Chains A and B, each alone.
Chain A
């Protein structure tokens, strides 16, 4: 794609001290342990990328190829992304805001969460670097995506998860023939073990030693939002926060699109959403500090967000503060209400993290942090079928009748009509 043979993706670079590194399977700076991030030649990209060029490409996340950190063409997950951006007018009315959009990654391909974006990049890069075994530390969605995409690519995989995850997420990994390892302990312990394993064996851990590549995949959610809005940055974006990486990368995506001349520079705010049972980033924001106090024992139904020691918490806070965004946290009951609000007013069934995002957006609108006469995009990152336990028994009951018209009339139709009449 690069006609001048000048690589768009040049180096890895320490986010703290700026030291440059080769594009290998490394993720932290040797000097200050700061995160390594993909560095690009934006001048070269500016001459290659254009709205017309992007529009001429297949509708996948890889249409933004110049801004993704691999050398060749993608070999894993070439079909991922370009999920719908849904204008949710009924939900907007319910939440009391002028304009509301849902970025619907519940239907991302192939495993129904935004994690397919990051895995597509990480595993494409893993193949370029020659890895035969790939792995991850996961709260569930990432495990599903690594398992599926590794299976399709013929890579051996190990996924390490907390032992108490939802059944749907465990089965949703096992089915692909991966090795699912349940760890007795919270996610942060899984994470530490994976760092130790990655340091000892030559495995490609997508979110440890391949993290600089992996994390960049999240930017495509931001790129797609801009394109689907007609090439502009939304005024407000609300994203769920686990490690804080997605929010940080959406912020980066908007800035990069400005930098390479794809969209105009306009004012935007990014807001973060967490569950009260594990809200280290939101609580730091609310306290007005950037010191993220770790949560030793997360306790929330939003298990996919239950990261007590968020790797990108510090950067997420700076992204929110710099853009005038806010952070909220919500209880388990509010999360269930959020799932139902989205399902009943937009026809989208999200997992618990989606409930967190909707419920936090509701609070941000109610508090005026997101003004009612403006617009917001909610990033809904995973499908509700994966976390059915969370809402079982909380959204109505099955009504059982015999296959008889009389029973239907007596038990269903007549009482329902009477109830409707009484309401109106």
Chain B
């Protein structure tokens, strides 16, 4: 299973875990499984239209999924998925 880095604002939903494991062949599946394990995560990550919220970035092994295949981006067992707030830096 891929490891998923959980940002601080979501940790109340993950029992304060900063890193969790989640199964799934692509990002969409990994996030769906994350929701099953930690209900409430989904509505924080996705907006009403089902898109990843404007202020959230999702990376697989350091690559922004917007430059890959979005939610269809494949995820391997040893991959690291990172969910981070877009609002940093500059």
Question: Given contacts A30-B12, A294-B67, is CB(A311)–CB(B44) below 8 Å?
Answer: no
CB-CB under 8 A from B90, the residues of chain A are 207, 242-245, 307, 310-312
Report yes or no: A31 in contact with B44, Cβ–Cβ below 8 A: yes
Contact with B along A94-124 (1 / 0, CB 8 A): 0000000000000000000000000000000
A29 interface residue per 8 A CB criterion? yes
B8: nearest residue on chain A (CB-CB)?
A: A199
A32 interface residue per 8 A CB criterion? yes
Question: Given contacts A195-B84, A196-B84, is CB(A311)–CB(B62) below 8 Å?
Answer: no
A158–chain B nearest beta-carbon distance, Å: 15
Candidates A32, A33, A185, A207; contact of B89 at CB < 8 Å: A207
B57 interface residue per 8 A CB criterion? yes
Question: Given contacts A207-B90, A208-B88, A311-B86, is CB(A185)–CB(B62) below 8 Å?
Answer: yes
Count residues of A near B (Cβ-Cβ below 8 Å): 42
Identify which of residues 237-272 in chain A touch chain B, using a CB-to-CB cut-off of 8 Å: 242-245
CB-CB under 8 A from A312, the residues of chain B are 87, 90
Report yes or no: A309 in contact with B8, Cβ–Cβ below 8 A: no
Report yes or no: A27 in contact with B44, Cβ–Cβ below 8 A: no
A347–chain B nearest beta-carbon distance, Å: 29
Alpha-carbon distance between A192 and B69 when the two chains are bound, in angstroms: 19
Identify which of residues 32-47 in chain B touch chain A, using a CB-to-CB cut-off of 8 Å: 44, 47
Report yes or no: B86 in contact with A137, Cβ–Cβ below 8 A: no
Question: Given contacts A33-B56, A192-B82, A314-B54, is CB(A137)–CB(B88) below 8 Å?
Answer: yes
Alpha-carbon distance between A211 and B57 when the two chains are bound, in angstroms: 17
Identify which of residues 44-90 in chain B touch chain A, using a CB-to-CB cut-off of 8 Å: 44, 47, 53-57, 59, 62, 64, 66-67, 82, 84-90
A26 interface residue per 8 A CB criterion? yes
B9: nearest residue on chain A (CB-CB)?
A: A30
Candidates A188, A199, A311; contact of B87 at CB < 8 Å: A311
CB-CB under 8 A from A74, the residues of chain B are none
B17–chain A nearest beta-carbon distance, Å: 11
Report yes or no: A211 in contact with B12, Cβ–Cβ below 8 A: no
Identify which of residues 154-180 in chain A touch chain B, using a CB-to-CB cut-off of 8 Å: none
Question: Which residue, of B53, B87, B88, B90, has the highest number of chain A Cβ atoms within 10 A?
Answer: B90
Question: Given contacts A189-B62, A192-B84, is CB(A26)–CB(B8) below 8 Å?
Answer: yes
B28 interface residue per 8 A CB criterion? no
